[in-house]
A and B are shown apart, each in its own frame.
Chain A
Amino acid sequence: KAGVTQTPRYLIKTRGQQVTLSCSPISGHRSVSWYQQTPGQGLQFLFEYFSETQRNKGNFPGRFSGRQFSNSRSEMNVSTLELGDSALYLCASSYGTDNYGYTFGSGTRLTVV
């Protein structure tokens, strides 16, 4: 079966712009979680969606937002980009009704210049 698909793979944006990243989970998975990965901070939890509802949120500013659609696909948006937002953004999916671990996508590498 198809894995978790994240688009685009690479993105270069300018400070102040906004960006939208997309994630398609594994078929049947209803939970989508987003993580920011940087060399200095490691993997930081952004938020988790299940059946179009945000169930959990990490400690990120309001510039970071997300949503989930009825087909479980998810998007995350970052507004007013800062240099420090440069990171690998990882999406992970699971059934959401158990905690047997995630399937991760390959990530979107965002560079803010």
Chain B
Amino acid sequence: GEDVEQSLFLSVREGDSSVINCTYTDSSSTYLYWYKQEPGAGLQLLTYIFSNMDMKQDQRLTVLLNKKDKHLSLRIADTQTGDSAIYFCAESSNTGGFKTIFGAGTRLFVKA
């Protein structure tokens, strides 16, 4: 079945770049996403990428997609303490309705 995997923790220093990686199994995935969750809150959509793209940039965020290896990454430039949160990778395919599968989330710690 569909599966999305990501590492559980990442620690970086303030001002450095953060790179969060994710792999997925569903070759029919049409959209891939990055969401952010802060304590006590729901998930917030950060960005998404179509499966026919290999890169998308949005301000400090860069998403890279390697469809052949089913690998997705999120790079956060100039990481700030306010970026400390859990980041979820997710994939979706239109199978007669939208069903999005999420990874377990990567907890990002930003050290001042």
Contacts and interface: CB of A to CB of B under 8 A. Distances in A.
Contact of A101 (B45, B95, B99): B45
Contacts of A64: none
B88 A99 contact: no
Contact of B33 (A35, A96, A101): A101
A42 B43 contact: no
A55 interface: yes
A35 B35 CA distance: 14
A107 interface: yes
Interface residues of B, number: 25
B102 interface: yes
A99 B98 contact: yes
B11 interface: no
A48 B104 CA distance: 20
Contacts of B31: 99-101
A45 B97 contact: no
Q: Is the interface of A mostly helix, strand, loop or mixed?
A: strand
Interface in B74-112: 88, 92, 94-105
A104 B42 CA distance: 6
Contacts of B97: 48, 50, 55-56
A56 B43 contact: no
Contact of A33 (B33, B48, B100): B100
Interface of B: 30-31, 33, 35, 40-45, 48, 88, 92, 94-105
Closest 5 CB pairs of A and B: A55-B97, A104-B42, A43-B102, A56-B97, A101-B45
25 contacts: A4-B42, A33-B98, A33-B99, A33-B100, A42-B104, A43-B43, A43-B102, A45-B100, A48-B97, A50-B97, A55-B98, A56-B95, A56-B97, A58-B99, A90-B42, A90-B43, A94-B98, A96-B98, A99-B100, A101-B35, A101-B48, A102-B45, A104-B42, A104-B44, A106-B42
